[in-house]
Amino acid sequence: MLYVKFHTFSFLLFLYRSHCLHNGMEGSNIAHRQLEGSSSDLQTRDIPRISAFDSKMLDEMEFGVHQSVPDSSDPPNTTYSFQEHRGKECLFGHEHVFTKSDPGCTPTTAVCIPDRVGWVKHFAHTTQRLLPCFSVLRQMHPNLSWVVIQQGVDNQRATMSSWNKDLLNAMQIEVRENATGLGCKVTSTIRHSPGAYCLMGPPLELHRRMGLSRKIAGESAVSFKAGIINRLGSRRWPAASAFIGIASHQFPHAEFEEAHFEQLSFSEQAKWINKQDLIITPHGAAETNLFFARRCVGVLEMSPMNYHVPGWFASLANVMGAQFYAGYPEGRNPRKDVQANWDCCRSQARSAPVLASPESVLAMLERAVANQTLCYQGAPAYLSKA
C-alpha cells in the first residue's frame, strides 16, 4: 500500500469509491445507508476478498499475549504520513449465514454460532465473536431471546472480565457452551469471515440501549471534541501532551483531552468514545470501543515501526461510518516492513513506543477536520439531527 502525504486537496480521497462504498459525498458514511439497509441489500451483500498475508495477520491472536515494554530514549520526532484506509470494511448479507429452525414448533430462542467458535477472555477477541452475532440476531431474530455459542466459556466464566460481562448485558445476550436445554430454537451459523470485525450491519441499536448519542459528528470545524487514547505500557505515544499544546493553539475553540482506558470502566469507555468528534490513538485494543463511535468520526491511528495492521480496526470504523486514517513513519513501506518482521520480531515491534511527531499528527488532524465537514454535509438531514 502506497503511503502518501496528504495535501491541501486531500479531501478528494473522500470521493474515492471502493468496495461496499457509495459514490459522492456520502462515501465514508457507510452507516448512513446501512442504518436502513434494504432486505435486497442484505440478501446479496458479501464480504471482500483479502490476501493470504492479510488473512494471516487478522486471524491471529493479537491481543492478550505477553509482551515486554522496551526502554526507549528516542524523541518523538518522526514525521508520520497518513492514508485514509477504506475498502476492507466487512459487511455480509443473509447468504453468509446458514439458518435452521427446529421442526414442528415455534422458536422462542435464537442461537448464533459465530465463525470464531472458541471463547477467548481478552475483550477485543470477545468482541470479534459477539458483534457479528449481535448484528445477525438484531437483523434476523429481533423478537426472540438471544444465545451465542462459545466453546470453553464455562471454564472461563468465573474469571470473565467486567468489560465482557457489561457488553453481554448491554447486548442482552447469553453466552453458552452449547444449545442443550434451550427448547424450540432457530440457529444461525455465520460462515468464516477474513476480516477482524465482520458484521451484517452497524450495531447502532447498542447506542440506543446505552443512551448514547447518535448525532453525526462534524457539525463544526472550529468547535469540536478531540480525544487521545494513550497507553500506559507498550505502544505509548510520548508526544501526547506536546500535541495537545500545539493543537489547542491551532484550534482554540476545540476541546482536547487524553485518556487511558486501562483506568476506565466499560460504560466510561463507551461514553468517552461516543462524545468525540476525532480520536487520535496508537494502534491497540482500546479501539475495540469504536463500535460506540458516531457516524463521520475521524480516527487517526498511529503504528510503531515494523508493526502496522490497520485492517484490524479500519473495518470496524468503516462499518460505523467513521473515517479511518492509518499513520506510519513517512518514507517507509509498511507492508514490506511488516512482512519482514512478522514471524521473527512481531512481539518486539508491536511493543515499541509510537514516536510520531506532534506536528505531523496535527497536519493530519487539520485534513481530517476538513474531510469530516464534508462527511457531515453529505449526511441525510434526518440523520444529522438524530
Judge if 298 and 166 occupy the same domain. Answer: no
Judge if 148 and 187 occupy the same domain. Answer: yes
- Window from 41-45, 94-98, 330-334 with minimum mean pLDDT: 41-45
Judge if 343 and 285 occupy the same domain. Answer: yes
User: What CATH number is associated with residue 82?
Assistant: 3.40.50
Model confidence at 28: pLDDT above 50: no
pLDDT-derived band of residue 57, with 50, 70 and 90 as boundaries?
low
pLDDT-derived band of residue 20, with 50, 70 and 90 as boundaries?
very low
First CA to last CA across the chain, in angstroms?
A: 36
Q: Could you tell me the pTM of the whole model?
A: 0.84
Q: Is residue 310 part of a domain?
A: yes
Residue 293 gets the label, from left (phi > 0), alpha (psi -120 to 50) or beta, of beta
Instruction: Show the 3-state SS of the chain.
Output: CCCCCCCCCHHHHHHCCCCCCCCCCCCCCHHHHHCCCCHHHHHHCCCCCCCHHHHHHHHCCCCCCCCCCCCCCCCCCECEEEEECCCCCEECCHHHEEEEECCCCCCCEEEEECCCCECCCCHHHHHHHHHHHHHHHHHHCCCCEEEEECECHHHHHHHCCHHHHHHHHHHCEEEECCCCCCCCEEEEEECCCCCCCEECCCCHHHHHHCCCCCCCCCCCCCCCEEEEEECCCCCCCCCHHHHHHHHHHHCCCCEEEEEEHHHCCHHHHHHHHHHCCEEEEECCHHHHHHHHCCCCCEEEEECCCCCCCCHHHHHHHHHCCCEEEEEEECCCCHHHHHHHHHHHHHHHHHHCCCCECHHHHHHHHHHHHHHHHHHHHHCCHHHHCC
Judge if 216 and 340 occupy the same domain. Answer: yes
- Window from 10-19, 106-115, 122-131 with minimum mean pLDDT: 10-19
Q: Is residue 3 part of a domain?
A: no
Q: Is residue 204 part of a domain?
A: no
Q: Is residue 198 part of a domain?
A: no
Q: What pLDDT is stored for residue 52 in this prediction?
A: 63
d(C-alpha 25, C-alpha 16), whole Å: 10
Judge if 99 and 23 occupy the same domain. Answer: no
Judge if 339 and 221 occupy the same domain. Answer: yes
Judge if 258 and 335 occupy the same domain. Answer: yes
Mind listing the pLDDT tens digit for each residue in 72-124? Answer: 667 889 999 999 987 555 788 999 999 999 999 999 999 999 999 899 989 99
Judge if 183 and 219 occupy the same domain. Answer: no
Model confidence at 219: pLDDT above 80: yes
pLDDT-derived band of residue 44, with 50, 70 and 90 as boundaries?
very low
Comparing 7 with 165, the larger pLDDT belongs to 165
Q: Is residue 5 part of a domain?
A: no
Q: What pLDDT is stored for residue 90 in this prediction?
A: 77
The domain of 187 spans: 93-192
Judge if 98 and 234 occupy the same domain. Answer: no
Judge if 249 and 367 occupy the same domain. Answer: yes
Domains held by the chain: number:
2
Judge if 51 and 141 occupy the same domain. Answer: no
Query: For the chain, what percent of residues have pLDDT higher than 70?
Result: 79
Q: Is residue 304 part of a domain?
A: yes
Which of 163, 192, 221 is the last residue in one of the domains? 192
Q: What pLDDT is stored for residue 109 in this prediction?
A: 98
Which of 166, 192, 218 is the last residue in one of the domains? 192
Mean pLDDT of the chain: 84
Q: What pLDDT is stored for residue 30 in this prediction?
A: 43
Q: What pLDDT is stored for residue 347 in this prediction?
A: 86
Q: What pLDDT is stored for residue 379 in this prediction?
A: 77
Judge if 244 and 121 occupy the same domain. Answer: no
Rounded to 10 degrees, the C-alpha dihedral 114/307/286/153 comes to 30
Comparing 48 with 329, the larger pLDDT belongs to 329
